[in-house]
Structure formats: structure tokens, C-alpha cells
Amino acid sequence: MIINHPLLGPRDAAEFVHLGDASLIDRPNWQAEDAAAQFLDYAYMRDNPAGELRELWYHEQGDRSWLVVTRNTLTHEISSVELARDVALARGRDR
């Protein structure tokens, strides 16, 4: 596969490490009242869709960017690649 890195252009998937569902960005607030339940979901529960999936890839043999890659799990078509930091900021993650 080829991942079109937003900063570096097309790179072979072999340069990356795959982590999985990009929902890992949405780490729960540990001070929330139902933090235990939220962390159970966060740590263990994943969707496994046949189709489009937003997932995290780490450019370990490159610039060490974490990316959010939207990939169709049936065709491997990649429809978008974003810097995970931008996604995290857009989702309201702060410090």
C-alpha cells in the first residue's frame, strides 16, 4: 500500500506501523464519574467495520508523525490522510 503523507508525499506502507482505530485519540477524562466504564470501552472495545475505517498509522521509519488514514478495509482504498495532531486538535483535545 502507499500512504500519501500530508507532509512527505506518497510513502510505502512498509515505513509505517499500524495501530488501529483512530478512536484511540478520544481518551476519556480520568476524572469523569463513569471513568472506569469509559476506560473499559476505550481500552478494549473496537468496531471492526467492513468498509471505511479511520485508523492510526505511525511513520516510524520516517518523520515519526502519527497519521489518521481513512482506509476501506475491503478494497484498501485510502480516501484521506491527515496528521493525527490536527485531528486531535479538531476533536478538542488540548493539553
Partner 1 sequence: MSQSNRIDGGLIDRSQTLSFTFNGKAMQGHPGDTLASALLANGQRLVGRSFKYHRPRGIFTAGSEEPNALVQLRKGAHQEPNTRATTVELFRGLEATSQNHRGSLNFDIMAANDLLAPWLSAGFYYKTFMWPKAFWEKVYEPFIRASAGLGALSKVEDPDTYDKGFLHCDLLVIGAGPAGLSAALAAGRSGARVILADEDFTPGGRLNAETLEVDGMAGSGWAAEAITELASMDNVRIMPRATVYGAYDHGIYGALERMTDHLANADGKPRQVLWRIYSKRALLTAGATERPIAFPMNDRPGVMLAGAVRAYANRFGVAPGKRVAVFTNNDDGWRTATDLAAKGVEITAVIDTRETDAQASIPRASIVMGGRVVDTAGRKGLTSITLANGQTIPTDCLAVSGGWSPNVHLTCHQRGRPGWREDIAAFVPSGDLPPGMSVAGAANGTLTLSAALNEGRAQANEAVKDLGFAASRKAPPKAEDEARETSAFWHVAEGKRRAWLDLQNDVTVKDVKQSHAEGFRSVEHLKRYTTLGMATDQGKTANIPALAIMAEQTGKTIPETGTTIFRPPYTPVPIGALAGRSRGKDFRPYRLTPSHKWAEENGATFVETGNWLRAQWFARPGEQGWRDSVDREVEMTRASVGICDVTTLGKIDIQGRDAAEFLNKIYANGFAKLPVGKVRYGLMLREDGICYDDGTTARLAENHFVMTTTTANAVLVFRRMEFARQCLWPNLDVHMISVTDGWAQYAVAGPNSRKLLAKIVDDFDISNDVFPFMGCAELTVCGGTPARLFRISFSGELAYEIAVPARYGRCDDPGADAGGRGIRRDPLWHRSAWRDADRKGPRGG
Residue 2 corresponds to which cell in the numbers above?
502507499
Residue 3 near residue 79, CB atoms below 8 Å: no
Cβ within 8 Å of residue 16, ≥6 positions away: 3, 57, 58, 59, 60, 61, 62, 67
Query: Based on CB atoms, which residue is closest to partner 1, 52 or 58?
Result: 58
Smallest distance, partner 1 to C-beta of residue 62, A: 12
Say whether residue 64 binds partner 1 (CB under 8 A). yes
User: Which residues contact partner 1 (rule: CB under 8 A)?
Assistant: 1-2, 17, 19, 24-25, 27, 39, 42-44, 56, 58, 60, 64-66, 75-78, 83-85, 87-89, 93-95
